[in-house]
Structure 1
Amino acid sequence: MKNPIIYSLSTVGILKHYNQDYLIHPQRTDFTGSNGVGKSIIADLIQLIFINDRHLFQFGTEGYKKEVRQIHKLAYKCRDAYAFLTIEIEDGKFICLGVCIPNTTNRPLRPFLITADPNNTKDFKDRAFTIDKIPSSANFIKESGQICLVEELSKNSEIIMVFILNLLVLMTRKRSIMRISSTGIFSLLI
């Protein structure tokens, strides 16, 4: 399998998924279940990680009970909810790309990157972490069981979280460049 590949999807405080770490099979992963259990939310979260602009984002399906679906309602009984993808960028080397979802429309969605080193001048392969250091949903939860606020996470020494404000450049093994703007629009340049 060629890298980069999605290794896992993690949710923290997300409606119907709560705090989970879903391992993604490199060839095929199926999400099955009855209507209203949250299958479509998985696809919506992946889209939201890459298109983290409220004006550009569109839910993949209608709500189960035909209520109007809203991004801020994905945060379930918490101030800040999180969804992040762990991506294997080279064999045994991982980074996480995610989004902080506030429970109100008054605060913006906050895309973030988790690496082993915050130095943006280094290549991603030099900032990546090994499989035994992959962050999980548990890293976002305090000992008291409460979900960390976004401000608390940026101070957590176990997780190096860099919030994407301007332009992030991801280098893959083939030296392709993926650019993700602050509006969440991304393009692949080869």
Structure 2
Amino acid sequence: MKWTVLVCALPLLTACISMKNVKELPSELIYKPPVSDVSATIMGKMEPRHTKLVGDRIAYIMEIDGKRVPKDKKESYSDTWDNVYPLTIGEHTMTVTYRMAGHYTKPTKLSFTAEANRNYQLDFVTDIGTAWFSGDSYADIWIKDKATGQPVTEVVRTAPPPAPRTISYPIIINN
């Protein structure tokens, strides 16, 4: 009898465990491409890994003008590095960041003025994951015009988040 109850309850228990509390962002907080005919585009950048021990180096866009870029539920934002985002002509602010394997930097903002019929791309220089004992201390990120390769923004330096503080508590044993 006990085995029968356990076997019958097992599918219910596993269903409850596998359900995740996944919340969606409201649609008004997701970036929507412009509807005008005249626009520019922007995308992230990936440099492939040089050895199998480290991951690809990726600079990617998280937000455009304060709105999160769209992504699938199972994707992380770094998976969207090759998405091409249409932009209206004029001033835009991007929230961008860098990732390589388990290393990442804090998000930072870049502002630039998009011109008609131009394609832009993030570019970066970093010491994160470039050598076995590199400092892993910074990523310099900027936006460039893809056709000319010329930068259209200033270089913004971002760094990994600070290491978590280690808190220790004394253990007192009374004999």
Normalising to structure 2: TM-score of the pair?
Answer: 0.30
Bigger radius of gyration, 1 or 2?
A: 2
Normalising to structure 1: TM-score of the pair?
Answer: 0.29
Q: Larger relative CO (CA 8 A, sep 6+): 1 or 2?
A: 1
